Structure 1
Amino acid sequence: MFITAGQSNTDGRVSNKLLPEYIKKLAIDTVYFKDGAYKYCKISQNRNDGHFIPYFPKGRISEGFWTYDAVTYYLLEQVLQENFYVVKYVVGGTSIQYPNDTAKGRYWSANTEWLEKTVSFEKKGKSLLLSFTDAIDAAIDSTLSKLEGGYQIDAFLWHQGESDDRYAGKYYDNLKAVIAYVRNHLTEKTGKDYSKLPFVFGSIPESNRHYKPEIDAAMKRIANEDPNAYLIDMSAQELQKDRTHFNEKSAEYLGKKVYKTLDKILILNGSGFRVARYKDDKACAISFTFDDGLAEHYSLVAPAMEKLGFRGTFWVNGRTIADTTYQRGFARMTWSQMKKMADKGHEISSHGWAHRNVTKLSPEELHHELEHNDTVIFQNTGVFPRTFCYPGNAKNNETIAFAEKNRIGTRTLQFSVGGKSTRENLDRRLADLLGNKGWGVTMTHGITYGYDHFSDAGIFWEYLKKVKTLEDRIWVGTFREVAAYVKEQKAVTCDVAKTDKGFSVVPRLALDKNLFTEPLTAVIGRKGIKKVAVRQGKKKLKVRILQDKALFDFDPFGGKIDVEVINK
């Protein structure tokens, strides 16, 4: 089952006369293509009675219009070959933010105080979010709960944001709240854990007359921070003459991309092939990061991590290293020491030239704060920094968008490991990390001196050793390594096809291959595998066979992969 929501580009503004030919074949009306039926897809659209009908592309108000999900559902049919259900709620020209005089007086807002004062649109209120969840509840109560095989909600599909252009600065918080509200509601309604429900959404084309860079940055930030949010880049896609709505090319493009994303998440291809969320198919990941370049990061931290086989990320301010008058009495690492650390695989990266609050800088000052520090780090270590850590953790959507240009990522989420840490709360953090299957990014300053240093340094050393005991489940990587892997894993799509001896995989990745160089781990989820032979081009790839799966690393830019599987 899938739930779909949004505004006009999710409702549909492309004439059915422009449907792809493979969908036109399902139409009864062969002139206007307004009537027909998919074989397996059943939909309940903008209904509060919970009833489903066979799907065929129809606009909410006027029949004979389609959008991206028509393609997605068609492709799902070809693979699933059994009934599946969609609850869809859409209203064109609507925003999340309220009040908003461009949004027809109906809103998707998840603001708790506002929701307590209103009701759903069908009940003469203003909440589209309540209309959506009411529609889901009715579908569960009237139909889905009565299915013999039960039901499972597999993903939340969404496209929206054009009507929030006047409140672009609030879009990050607003959309994040909508996602959380729907996940929490489904969990409470069903008793199942939907906190990790995949959220698949598309960005707004830059040619859209309502396009705002702040909304684009907000979407990217959510996709970066939420491991279960998958953003499809629509920035270069075409629009109709109204400069608002998808045309037939962009609608089909998004529909195929949504399907590819669902295929990756749900493993629809039947081969058992998937790309692991983290390296070596570990349950979660952790990056140990250290701020401000203290001398003991070289003398104590790096050696301790190396003994455990770990490597860390060390964020430094070039001015503080170069000029002792800015060190505030705390000894710092030297460039020669950092060069040795970089040579051993540690990441030396940027914390800004002078540790200034980047949200208060002019564009020229911001450019100098970042670019000058990058240059100095490269000159002294031989490795150009491709990540960034915000001084004082001060950031907003504008500074994030600027800082992430030509970088793999920036530290936007972290948890403190320092003076207030106890053995108990660090153990809880590890348990939560394993349970949530997330990426934990630590923030540590001083160990024995400096800002937020430990009163008992043994807490930190024991924490490192505890993580080591869990390395069969936790991937410990530098910030750059994990950030690159996570973005590649989310962005890569794989065309899987059966062959005489097994199957082939063609990975496609629309990222900068000069920046993103992390190999990805492929998983073949099958029991009883005796032997697997894998080649990518002319290169034979190493395969690790475990009890219920086989693993191999591949180059997402390396072209076709041929896989031969021999079962016991």
Structure 2
Amino acid sequence: MKYKSLTAAITYVFCLCGLNAQTNVSVAKYHGNCKAAVSYTFDDGLLEHYTKVFPEFKKRNIKGSFCIIGSKVGHDMKGTPCMNWEQLREMADDGQEITNHGWAHRNVTNLTADELRYEVQHNDTAIYNNVGVFPRTYFYPGNRKTDTAVEFCSQDRTGTRTFQISIGSKRDTEWLKKWIDGIISHGEWGIGMTHGITTGYDAFTDPSILWNHIDYACSRRDSLWIAPLHDVSAYIQERDNIKLKVRTKGNITEIAMQTGLDPKIFNVPLTMTVCGNSNEDTPGNIVASQDGVKLNIYRKERDLMFDFNPNGGKITIIHQYNLK
């Protein structure tokens, strides 16, 4: 499934009784009502992902996606050392995504149905048994795939990596800056991919290029959601499948919802925005709760917003509206 072309969020409009104004309620395109999203993905489970990338990501409080080859864990990938299971568990406990890159890194386009099943499912089992999380995404070895392979590998997952941009090797600071600026300008989801950091395939000419780039991406966080591939792919599917039923009486709005998706797989919070729709109107204070639990309200420019569970119960919003 390909998400590069994204549909606009569906907006639900309702009138506040007794006021000559309207308020728009919508599910944001990306988490936090960001204009764009980016996922940083690291292939092959190399040791440098633990010794170099993981500490730098922790400093900046960001999460990435690390796809591993089960048969290579604790060994090496063509001479480049790989992480062990203990290191992978530590990263998973921190919230980094540990996911599937095939048990033996076999080209899925050359496999029989039984071979494909083993390549994918045996690695799922190894990751679950040793790390404690079941991988809900899949990264194709060599980025090779067929429609049949994509259909199989997408089963019981939030998505698979069907497009990416190489950010290692010959990329420089200016190129990477333009890449991020372009993602934001076009409202896209960018997926960056690399392997080695200082050694191995696709290594950077200087690792500071990567750290400086990550710093620049972090500086654009008001517009850019930085999250693992799992989170973004789940958010997009939940957003595009959710159906809202909105009912307003006086200053109270109730919103019921359903996605039709498996809540065991699709459980990433969505962001709902509440905004005025004329120059004369600005949102006042609101109080929102879901299943009796108060939701945290935050503001971005003219919009008020909150995160909610798309698989949860009814949302109740109590409005106070400011008219200029």
TM-score where L is the length of structure 2: 0.92
The equivalences for 1:471-550 within 5 A come to 471-526=221-276, 527-550=281-304
- Correspondence for 1:9: none
Mapped to 2, the partners of 1:412 and 1:357 lie a distance apart of: 14
- Choose between structure 1 and 2: higher helix proportion: 1
For residues 109-162 of structure 1, what are the alpha-carbon distances to aligned partners after superposition, in whole Å with 9 as ceiling and x for unaligned? xxxxxxxxxxxxxxxxxxxxxxxxxxxxxxxxxxxxxxxxxxxxxxxxxxxxxx
- Out of 54, 57, 61, the position equivalent to 1:302 is 54
Aligned-residue offset at 1:384: 0.9
Q: Does 1:354 align with 2:107?
A: no
Paired letter, 1:408:
T
2:154 is matched with which residue: 380, 394, 404?
404
Q: How does 1:391-470 map to 2 (within 5 A)?
A: 391-470=141-220
C-alpha RMSD over aligned residues: 1.5
CA distance in 2, matches of 1:451, 1:295: 13
Which structure exhibits the higher relative contact order, with contacts defined as CA atoms closer than 8 Å and separated by 6 or more residues?
2
Cα distance in 2 between the residues matched to 1:520 and 1:546: 16
Contact 1:525 1:549 in 2 (8 A): yes
Question: Contact 1:529 / 1:545 at 8 angstroms: preserved in 2?
Answer: no
After superposition, residues 89-488 of structure 1 pair within 5 angstroms as 221-222=1-2, 224-228=3-7, 265-269=10-14, 271-321=23-73, 324=75, 327-488=77-238
Superposed CA deviations along residues 380-426 of structure 1, whole A, max 9, x for unmatched, are: 11111111000000011111000000111100011101112111211
Asked whether the 8 Å contact 1:409–1:483 carries over to 2, the reply is yes
Task: Measure the CA separation in 2 of the matches of 1:278 and 1:448.
Answer: 33
Q: Is the 8 A contact 2:269 2:310 kept in 1?
A: yes
CA–CA distance in structure 1, aligned partners of residues 46 and 299 of structure 2: 43
Amino acid at match of 1:265: I
- Hey, what does 1:134 align to over in structure 2? none
Distance apart, 1:484 and its partner CA: 0.8
Structure showing greater Rg: 1
Post-superposition offset of 1:352: 0.3
> Does structure 2 retain, via aligned residues, the 8 Å contact 1:408–1:515?
yes
CA distance in 1: counterparts of 2:86 and 2:148, whole angstroms: 35
Counterpart residue number, 1:567: 321
* Structure 2: distance between partners of 1:295 and 1:535: 44
> How far does residue 267 in structure 1 lie from its aligned partner after superposition?
4.2
Distance 1:486 1:378 in 2: 25
- Quick one: structure 1 residues 318 and 546, their matched pair in 2 at CA, closer, same or farther if it must change by over 3 Å? closer
Letter in 2 for 1:528: T
Query: Secondary structure of 2:73's partner?
Result: helix
Q: What's the counterpart of residue 113 of structure 1? A: none
Gaps spanning 5+ residues in structure 2: where? 15-21
- Quick one: distance in 2 between partners of 1:547 and 1:408? 31
Aligned partner of residue 45 in structure 2, secondary structure? coil
The SS at the match of 1:523 is: strand
Q: Judge conservation of contact 1:528–1:547 (CA < 8 Å) in 2.
A: no
Cα deviation 1:43-80 (Å, max 9, x = unaligned): xxxxxxxxxxxxxxxxxxxxxxxxxxxxxxxxxxxxxx
Cα deviation for residue 266 of structure 1 reads 4.8
Residues 271, 507 of structure 1: CA spacing in aligned structure 2 closer, same or farther, 3 A cutoff? farther
Question: Is the Cα contact below 8 Å between 1:448 and 1:454 reproduced in 2?
Answer: yes
Aligned-residue offset at 1:456: 1.7
SS of 1:525's equivalent? strand
Query: Which deviates further from its counterpart, 546-555 or 344-353?
Result: 546-555
Partner residue in 1 for 2:305 = 551
Kindly state the Cα deviation for residue 561 of structure 1 after the two structures are TM-superposed. Answer: 1.2
TM-score (norm 1): 0.53
Counterparts of 2:189 and 2:264, CA distance in 1: 24
* Contact map agreement 1:275 1:489 (CA 8 A) in 2: yes
Instruction: Give the letter aligned to residue 276 of structure 1.
Output: A
The gaps in structure 1 that reach 5 residues or longer are 1-220, 230-263
Select between 307-316 and 537-546 the one with higher mean Cα deviation: 537-546
Query: Does the Cα contact within 8 Å between 2:251 and 2:319 map onto a contact in 1?
Result: yes
Note the alpha carbon deviations across 1:349-383, whole angstroms, 9 max, x for none. Answer: 00000000001100000000000001001111111
Distance 1:430 1:538 in 2: 39
Give yes or no for contact 2:13–2:25 (8 Å, CA) kept in 1: no
4+ residue segments displaced more than 3 Å: 266-271
Q: After TM superposition, give the deviation of residue 539 of structure 1 in Å.
A: 1.6
CA contact (8 A) 1:285 1:440 kept: yes
Q: Which amino acid aligns with 1:458?
A: S
Aligned residue type for 1:549:
D
Distance 1:281 1:428, change over 3 A: same
Counterpart amino acid of residue 338 in structure 1: L
Residues 270-303 of structure 1 deviation map (CA, whole Å, 9 limit, x = unaligned): 5310001111111111111100111110000010
Distance 1:542 1:349 in 2: 31
Report sequence identity in percent: 36
Displacement after TM superposition at 1:525 (Å): 1.3
Q: Is the 8 A contact 2:4 2:189 kept in 1?
A: no
Q: Which SS does the other structure have where 1:462 is aligned?
A: helix
Partner SS for 2:260: coil
CA contact (8 A) 2:195 2:202 kept: yes
